[in-house]
Amino acid sequence: MSDLGPDIELIRAAALEAGALALAERAKGVSVRSKPGGSPVTSADYAVDAALKDMLVGARPDYGWLSEETEDGPDRLGRSRIFIVDPIDGTVAFMKDLPWWCVPVAVIEDGRVVAAVVHAPMLGETYTATLGGGAFLNGEPIRAATTDTLENAGVLASAQMFRDLHWPEPWPPMRIENRNALAYRMSLVAAGAFDAAVAFTPRWDWDVAAGALIAAEAGGIVTDHHGEPWRFNRPDPRQPGMVCSTAALHPLIIARTRHIPQAR
């Protein structure tokens, strides 16, 4: 693997510029439409997507590209390295002028995330990581918590999810909160602010790739809800589910979630 320094600096600078552009676009006023399935997308999402592609692929023309707001194609599958981005992760929060949105950017090499940035402009938080190089928040090292019991653990998820599914064993009392952006949830686990972030339905690679490396480099564990590791740059750019947690909590969560089908 080649030196990751130039790539992490590139994607960090791009994410910061993209965040500033998103704020400027919202200040001007954005148009909104619904995608198939009903999720909203704004004119700012498209503007940031175009700017990121210009900055990143312009600097690395041999890298492939996968983004929520760019039509996917087979070209990326033949590339050793690709960028995976979500121009604005947490569009609903962005639209409502809430701070829980971010710009996640990841570099993938042969199916693994090797460099990642999650930038939350309204919070002034920039999380970074390189494979084997640790995880950082605004340049300072971060570590996941050491929590080893589910009772009273801080979990980022939908509280309804724990009520709707038929659980063989009831969950203990936990502090359950939500944040709009999946990448930001994973970054909060990496920083030790929460103990786990979970989702039991498929998640797009652009929502989770950057956060996965940041959490892992901070000492957390990230898999699907059956405990299987993730791999990226596949024809179907989704992961079956997500368990991102402290190392000690991970087997406790998987023991409860492995019965859930891996829906596609």
Least confident interval from 79-83, 164-168, 183-187, 255-259: 164-168
Is a pLDDT exceeding 90 seen at residue 185? yes
pLDDT digits (tens, 9 = 90+) for 206-263: 999 999 999 999 999 999 999 999 999 999 999 999 999 999 999 999 999 988 887 6
The model's confidence at residue 35, banded by pLDDT at 50, 70 and 90, is confident
DSSP 102: B
Token pair, residue 109, equals 């090499």
Q: What is the pLDDT of residue 2?
A: 62
CA separation for the pair 136, 133 (Å, rounded): 9
Q: What is the pLDDT of residue 168?
A: 86
* Closest by Cα among 184, 129, 121 to 156: 184
Q: Residue for token digits 């990326």? A: 76
CA separation for the pair 173, 157 (Å, rounded): 14
pLDDT digits (tens, 9 = 90+) for 18-32: 999 999 999 999 999
Q: What is the mean pLDDT of the chain?
A: 95
Q: What is the pLDDT of residue 175?
A: 96
Phi, psi of 142 (to 5 degrees): -130, 155
Is residue 28 classed exposed, middle or buried when 0-12, 13-18 and 19+ CB atoms within 10 A define those classes?
A: exposed
State whether CATH 3.40.50.150 applies to domain 5-141: no
Which CATH fold topology does 154-257 show?
D-Maltodextrin-Binding Protein; domain 2 (3.40.190)
Q: Kindly give, in sequence order, each residue whose CB lies less than 8 Å from that of residue 38, ignoring residues fewer than 6 positions away.
A: none
Q: What is the pLDDT of residue 39?
A: 87
Q: Kindly state the average pLDDT of the residues 146-157.
A: 97
Q: What is the pLDDT of residue 249?
A: 98
Phi, psi of 14 (to 5 degrees): -65, -40
pLDDT digits (tens, 9 = 90+) for 104-128: 999 999 999 999 999 999 999 999 9
Of all residues in the chain, the percent with pLDDT exceeding 70 is 98
One fold for 5-141 and 154-257: no
Domain range annotation of the chain: 5-141, 154-257
Q: Kindly state the average pLDDT of the residues 175-203.
A: 96
Token pair, residue 250, equals 């991970």
Q: Kindly state the average pLDDT of the residues 193-200.
A: 96
